[in-house]
C-alpha cells in the first residue's frame, strides 16, 4: 500500500450548458434522458483522457481552403483563438476538430438535402493542435446559413462545429462557433438552448480587424474555455 | 476577468464528415493478442435505433494504467485508450480494444474494470456520459464503489454481456431501460 496523489478534480460546469431537454429543438424530444444524471466522483478514469496528437493532423488540415486543386467559393476567413481553462491557464497540444458547411450552406454529406450547390473545392473538415500558449488558427471560408426542418422556415445561423478533448475525459467539449450580429440568432433553438444570455455570447466569435490580412482574408477571434481544476490535490490511499 | 466555460452545442447529424476516421473504432489493431470487440446499439425513447450518434470510449490498459501524465503512478506509453465509433443505420456501434484492468478508487480500494463512454448525437445538446462494466467480472463488480451506489435495475444497464469475440451492451437514451448516465 502506498499513498498516491490524485490530480485535482475538475470543477462542475453544468450551469453553462443547455438542458438536454430543450423542447424547442425537436430532436431532443426522444433523446434526452428522463432521469437526472447520477453524480460520479471523478476517478483516475475521468481525470485522464485521450491525448490525440500529431498523428491525427495532416499538413493542410488547418487550411480548409487548400485541400483541393482549386480554391473554394466564398469569403476567405481566418478563425483563431486560444483554448483555456477557467483559471486562464492555456491548454497546449490539444486536438481541435472542426467541420462546417460550404459558403452556400451545404454540407458534403449524403444526408444534406438542402438544394444548394456542393463545392468541389471544399470538404469542410479541419484539424489542428494548439500551441504551447493554447493558440489555434484555421483558414477557411465563411459558412452559409441553411434551412432545416425543426419548425416552419427554420434557418441555422452560420456556424462552425468544434470538437475538443482538453487534457482529461472531464474536459471533452463539442460546441459551435457563431458569427457576430447574425440576424438568425433569435429564431434558432440550438443557439438559444443556452439559457443564460451571457453564456450564449461566449459562443459568438469577435471580428478581429488586427488579424485580417489586407487584400486576402477577414479574421475572427474565438477563445474556447474548458472546465478548470480545483485548487488542491486530493490524498488517496492507493492499493 | 476570469474566463467562463464555453457552453456545449449538439454535433447535429453531419458530424460524420469530420469526426469519424478509419482507425477510430480500433483502440488497438484487430490482430492484437487479446483484442476484444465491445459493441451494441443506441436507442431513443421510442425504442427506435439512433443512426446519427457517436460513441466514444476511454479506458485504462490491461494493467489498469493510463498513457497520461496525470496518472500519479506514472505514465505508461503505448495504449491509446480511446475509441470512436459512429452508429450505423441500425444504431450499431463497435470498438476493438483490450479489456481494461482495475483502476484505483478514490479513497482506496479498486474499481472494477470499466470503460468510460461519451455519447454525442443529433438531439443531444450536450454529451451524455456512462460507463461499461463487464459481465464476467462479478466479484470485482460487487466490490465496485460506483456500482454499489446504484439499484439492481440501474446497475444492469451498465454491465456488458459476454458475446462472440467480446462484449455487448446497448444504450437507451430515454425511457424503458434508460441507461444510467453520470454527472462528472
Q: Min CA distance, B165 vs chain A (Å)? A: 25
Rounded Cα gap, residues A126 and A146, in angstroms:
20
pLDDT tens, A181-239? 999 999 999 999 999 999 999 999 999 999 999 999 999 999 999 999 987 655 554 43
Does A234 contact chain B (CB < 8 Å)?
yes
pLDDT tens, B132-161? 999 999 999 999 999 999 999 999 999 999
pLDDT at residue number A235: 52
Q: Min CA distance, B173 vs chain A (Å)? A: 5
pLDDT at residue number A7: 85
Contact B127 A194 (CB under 8 A): no
- The answer to whether A151 is a known catalytic residue is no
The residues spanned by each domain of chain A are 2-32+40-230
Q: Residue B176: closest CA among chain A residues belongs to which residue?
A: A34
Does A9 contact chain B (CB < 8 Å)?
no
Rounded Cα gap, residues A107 and A115, in angstroms:
11
Show residues of chain A in contact with B144, CB under 8 Å.
none
Q: Residue A11: closest CA among chain B residues belongs to which residue?
A: B184
pLDDT tens, A113-129? 999 999 999 999 999 99
Q: How many CB atoms lie within 10 A of CB A80?
A: 18
The residues spanned by each domain of chain B are 13-172
Does A31 contact chain B (CB < 8 Å)?
yes
What are A195-198's contacts with CB under 8 Å, separation 24+? Answer: A195/A18, A195/A19, A196/A15, A196/A16, A198/B4
- Is the pTM for the entire model greater than 0.90? yes
Of A10, A25, A146, A178, the active-site residue reads A146
Q: Which CATH architecture has domain A2-32+40-230?
A: Sandwich (2.60)
Class of domain B13-172 (CATH, top level): mainly beta
Q: A108 near A122, Cβ under 8 Å?
A: yes
Amino acid at each position: 500500500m502506498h499513498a498516491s496523489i490524485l490530480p485535482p478534480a475538475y470543477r462542475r460546469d453544468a450551469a453553462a450548458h443547455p438542458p438536454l431537454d430543450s423542447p424547442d429543438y425537436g430532436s431532443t424530444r426522444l433523446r434526452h434522458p428522463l432521469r437526472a444524471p447520477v453524480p460520479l466522483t471523478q476517478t483516475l478514469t475521468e481525470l485522464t483522457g485521450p491525448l490525440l496528437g500529431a498523428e491525427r493532423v495532416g499538413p493542410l488540415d488547418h487550411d480548409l481552403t487548400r485541400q483541393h486543386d482549386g480554391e473554394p467559393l466564398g469569403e476567405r476567413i481566418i478563425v483563431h483563438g486560444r483554448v483555456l481553462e477557467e483559471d486562464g491557464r492555456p491548454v497546449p497540444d490539444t486536438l481541435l476538430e472542426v467541420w462546417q458547411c460550404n459558403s452556400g450552406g451545404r454540407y458534403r454529406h449524403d444526408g444534406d438535402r438542402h438544394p444548394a450547390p456542393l463545392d468541389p473545392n471544399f470538404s469542410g473538415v479541419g484539424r489542428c493542435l494548439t500551441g504551447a500558449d493554447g493558440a489555434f488558427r484555421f483558414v477557411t471560408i465563411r459558412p452559409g446559413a441553411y434551412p432545416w426542418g425543426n419548425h416552419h422556415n427554420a434557418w441555422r445561423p452560420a456556424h462552425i462545429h468544434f470538437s475538443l478533448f482538453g487534457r482529461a475525459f472531464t474536459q471533452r467539449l463539442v460546441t459551435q462557433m457563431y458569427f457576430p450580429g447574425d440576424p438568425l440568432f433569435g429564431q434558432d433553438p440550438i443557439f438559444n438552448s443556452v439559457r443564460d444570455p451571457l453564456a450564449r455570447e461566449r459562443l459568438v466569435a469577435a471580428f478581429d480587424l488586427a488579424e485580417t490580412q489586407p487584400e486576402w482574408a477577414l479574421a475572427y477571434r474565438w477563445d474556447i474555455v474548458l472546465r478548470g481544476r480545483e485548487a488542491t490535490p486530493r490524498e488517496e490511499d492507493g492499493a | 476577468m476570469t474566463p467562463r466555460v464555453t457552453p456545449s452545442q449538439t454535433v447535429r447529424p453531419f458530424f460524420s464528415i469530420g469526426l469519424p476516421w478509419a482507425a477510430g473504432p480500433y483502440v488497438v489493431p484487430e490482430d492484437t493478442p487479446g483484442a476484444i470487440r465491445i459493441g451494441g446499439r443506441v436507442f431513443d425513447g421510442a425504442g427506435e435505433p439512433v443512426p446519427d450518434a457517436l460513441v466514444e470510449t476511454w479506458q485504462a490498459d490491461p494493467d489498469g494504467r493510463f498513457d497520461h501524465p496525470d496518472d500519479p503512478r506514472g505514465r505508461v506509453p503505448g495504449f491509446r485508450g480511446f475509441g470512436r465509433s459512429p452508429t450505423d443505420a441500425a444504431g450499431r456501434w463497435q470498438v476493438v480494444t483490450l479489456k481494461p484492468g482495475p483502476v484505483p478508487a478514490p479513497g482506496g480500494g479498486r474499481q472494477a474494470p470499466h470503460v468510460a463512454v461519451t455519447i454525442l448525437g443529433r438531439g443531444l445538446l450536450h454529451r451524455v456520459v456512462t460507463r461499461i462494466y463487464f459481465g464476467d467480472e462479478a466479484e470485482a463488480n460487487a466490490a465496485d464503489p460506483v456500482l454499489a451506489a446504484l439499484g439492481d435495475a440501474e446497475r444492469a444497464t451498465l454491465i456488458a454481456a459476454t458475446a462472440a469475440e467480446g462484449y455487448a451492451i446497448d444504450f437507451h437514451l430515454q425511457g424503458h431501460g434508460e441507461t444510467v448516465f453520470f454527472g462528472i
